[in-house]
Amino acid sequence: MKHWYVVHTHANRELRASNNLLRQGFNVWLPQYRKKRRHAGRQEIVLRPLFPRYLFVRVNILEERWRTILSTLGVSNLIGNTDGPFLIEDDVIDAIQKRAGDDGIFELMPRKFVAGDKIKITSGPFAELEAIFHTESDTDRALVLLNLMGRDVRTSVSRQDIEEI
């Protein structure tokens, strides 16, 4: 009987491991979500793994040649012990898959900040500065209070460029 198992991949090689396992005929699931990122001065939406460095493979370890998974490019190992890989119950995987969108991609909601929350700006001209969250200015921007030269200055930053301290 086939069960789900967790594959641990090399860093940033989840997609490569998934494609190589699919090419070998394995049933693979790599849960992903959409992330906005800024690159070369423009914004783009990219798919990122929901569980970095992990993906799932469905295999019957009693009848199939599952050890070929271990030598697949991008794969580090299967999560388990000396007795073999640990299986994941189908209802656990089903519960995770049901939370995905119609296209199988997860939509993660950004964290809601409250006025007065201490935040850190992660990129842009104010990168690495600490600030106080003031309010949302629209769906993608936030107003924050920066302490510059002894004064609180209100400025607008991208929501994706702030994180909680």
What are the residue ranges spanned by the domains of the chain? 3-106, 118-164
**CA 12 to each of CA 71, 104, 130, 160: distance values in angstroms, whole numbers, following the listed order:** 17, 20, 29, 21
Q: pLDDT tens digits for 39-85?
A: 777 878 899 999 999 999 999 999 999 999 999 999 999 999 999 99
Determine the residue type at 84. Answer: G
CB atoms within 10 A of CB 11: 8
Q: Given a cut of 90, is residue 123 above it in pLDDT?
A: no
The CATH class of the 118-164 domain is: mainly beta
Question: ∠ CA 14-24-104 to the nearest 5 degrees?
Answer: 50
> How far is the C-alpha of 7 from the C-alpha of 118, rounded, in Å?
37
Spatial contact of 28 and 39, defined as CB atoms under 8 Å apart = no
Span 3-106: which CATH code?
3.30.70.940
The proportion of the chain whose per-residue pLDDT surpasses 90, expressed as a percent, equals 67
Q: Please state the rounded mean pLDDT for residues 129-151.
A: 87
What spatial distance separates the first Cα and last Cα of the chain, rounded to whole Å?
47
Average pLDDT value for the chain: 91
Coil, helix or strand at residue 95: helix
